[in-house]
Amino acid sequence: MTWQDYLQDRRELLQTLLNEKTRRIWIKDRCREAEHKRAQIIAQWHAERMPDCDQARHTVARLERLARLPRQIPEDIRLAVRDLKRKGQFQMALRELDRFYDRNTPVSPPSDHRAGVNRSLQPMALQEMASRRSSPSP
């Protein structure tokens, strides 16, 4: 940019700012640009920190589960976890709980298998409904 170009830009800006209508438009444009940039910075900040936030939520949930053991946990595991907590071995207690939950997680059949089961049962249910309708009521 040459000196002449710079002076020309400054004159145009001065003329814009001296006129009330063009000044308002210029200010609104700058405010929109600043808000857009601010929104981009916030979105980038959240995107960069999302994995850390998810990890923290997961850790808090595990610690809450450790603090208030559910009734579904068998007594032997409950006592082992309680003893580990008393000794201050919280990581070991968390691992013990995780092992329990990993062993007791129900495994659901694949969705295509369930869909086949539903399809095979559907005609039978329709046949039963049709037979009920056709049979006379006492």
pTM here is: 0.47
Examine the pLDDT at 92 and tell me if it is beyond 50.
yes
- Residue 51 banded pLDDT, cuts 50, 70, 90: very high
- Residue 101 has a CB neighbour count (10 Å cut-off) of 14
Q: Mean pLDDT check: name the lowest of 51-60, 75-84, 117-126, 127-136.
A: 117-126
pLDDT digits (tens, 9 = 90+) for 11-46: 999 999 999 999 999 999 999 999 999 999 999 999
Full 3-state SS string of the chain: CCHHHHHHHHHHHHHHHHCHHHHHHHHHHHHHHHHHHHHHHHHHHHHHHHHHHHHHHHHHHHHHHHHCCCCCCCHHHHHHHHHHHHCCCHHHHHHHHHHHHHHCCCCCCCHHHHHHHHHHHHHHHHHHHHHHHHCCCC
Q: Which residue has the tokens 């049979």?
A: 135
